[in-house]
Amino acid sequence: MQSSTPHRPLTQSPWLIVAQAAAALAAGMGIGRFVYTPVLPLMHAQAGLSSSLGASLATANFIGYLAGALVGIAVPTVVRSAPVLRGSLVVLVATLALTPLTHDGTAWFLLRLVAGATSALIFVIAVSAMLSGLRAHAHHLVGWAFGGVGAGIALSGLLVVAVQAASTWQAAWWTCAALAALLAALAWPLARQPEPRSSETGAQTERPRTHRWFLALLASYTFEGIGYIIAGTFLVAAIQQGVKGWLGSGAWVMVGLAALPSCALWTWLAIRWSRPALLLTSLTIQAIGIALPALLGGAMPALISAVLFGATFMGVSTIALSIGTHLQVPRAVALLTAGYSAGQILGPLLAAPLLSHGYHQALLLGSAMVVAAAVAAAALCVRFPHHLRHAAA
């Protein structure tokens, strides 16, 4: 009978799940969160946005992101809800489209706040649905799905570069809102797969004790949140200060293009090397990339910085979330996302006093925070439990 046929069959193509999850992450993260970075210089030049208000708007987005992550921790059913994912995508697109309709700082603050909350919900729900749908398939597919963030960054960055040559900051927001709406439509069918049936009576008592490694991971990921968001918010503006022409405005596109294949590459490397060691390696590379434009002028350091940052920031997230899942701590993804977003709130606040001297000192601060994340990742490497029995039936 037709009523007995499930709406989403378990035999759904894994690449279709990858495409839907990538579209959701491209809309929610690549555009909803990160389009502010390439639009920021335009808003400084055309909308009269001050450096302090620019930092406050970034902070508003991160506060909203933390709130969305905390909802995922407090209400676990939200993480499994396709209607919440769809509603969040609609609200996110609306915030992008409404931003150019005002010059009021309070309105901008509220819109970025709501955008942050919906971005977090999209992230945790899409990742949960993706992991459940791909659990029986090759792990590198997860990396390609996370690559949607890089695709969203690259596509929105290209739109902003194209629009700023012929139009205004308002047009940049509207075209990116239209792109986010298209991606939301592609992501619309994404939903969590049913879990396989198993006895749950012993699951809680048999879970291995891995909390000390998880605490080191949480500390590392929180410091990464501080450092990466300083670079993610101010890297383009810093490069534009020192490099004129297409490279300054196109740096964010380079970040996205480097991020697109990076997650698949890091997940492939994780098959062959220790994930904690890869986390330490990626954080070290990222710290170097963030510091480069502050230490060396010219086009080549700027280009290398954009590529190194893009090649690592989503890779760090992919590896960290994979380690958290491996350690079998309940609601690990939501907990790590909350720590990450708390770091992102601190980042712009710590960087704001340094912005009166330009962006170079802020980038050095961001690099130092990523070094601290690498130190915590080094502690994670000590006697890491690579082989665990899964909490079992």
Per domain, the residue ranges of the chain are 13-191+208-380
CA distance 203 to 49: 53
- What is the pLDDT, as a whole number, of residue 138? 64
Length of the chain measured in residues: 393
Q: Is the pTM of this model over 0.75?
A: yes
- What is the pLDDT, as a whole number, of residue 196? 56
Q: Which residue intervals of the chain are DSSP H helices? A: 14-25, 36-46, 51-74, 76-79, 82-98, 105-133, 140-166, 169-187, 203-206, 211-242, 246-272, 275-295, 299-326, 332-351, 360-380
CA distance 223 to 62: 14
Residue 228, CB-side half-sphere exposure with 13 Å CA sphere: 31
Domain 13-191+208-380 falls in which CATH fold? Growth Hormone; Chain: A; (1.20.1250)
- What is the pLDDT, as a whole number, of residue 248? 61
- Reduce the DSSP state of residue 271 to 3 states and report it: helix
- What is the pLDDT, as a whole number, of residue 205? 47
- What is the pLDDT, as a whole number, of residue 341? 85
CA distance 257 to 153: 8
Per-residue pLDDT of the chain (393 residues; tens, 9 = 90+): 444 444 444 457 888 889 999 999 999 998 998 888 788 878 888 888 887 788 788 888 889 998 998 888 888 888 888 899 999 999 999 999 999 999 998 999 999 999 999 999 999 899 888 877 777 666 667 888 888 888 888 888 888 888 877 788 899 999 999 999 999 999 999 987 666 554 444 444 456 677 788 899 999 999 999 998 888 877 777 777 766 666 666 777 888 888 888 888 888 888 888 989 999 999 999 999 999 988 887 778 888 888 999 899 888 988 998 888 888 777 787 888 889 988 988 888 888 888 877 788 889 999 999 999 999 999 988 888 777 665 433
- What is the pLDDT, as a whole number, of residue 253? 81
CA distance 283 to 209: 26
- What is the pLDDT, as a whole number, of residue 197? 55
- Tokens for 209, please give them: 């004790």
- What is the pLDDT, as a whole number, of residue 256? 83
- What is the pLDDT, as a whole number, of residue 163? 84
Q: What angle do CA 231, 263, 281 make, to 5 degrees?
A: 65
- Reduce the DSSP state of residue 390 to 3 states and report it: coil
Which amino acid belongs to residue 1?
M
- What is the pLDDT, as a whole number, of residue 357? 76
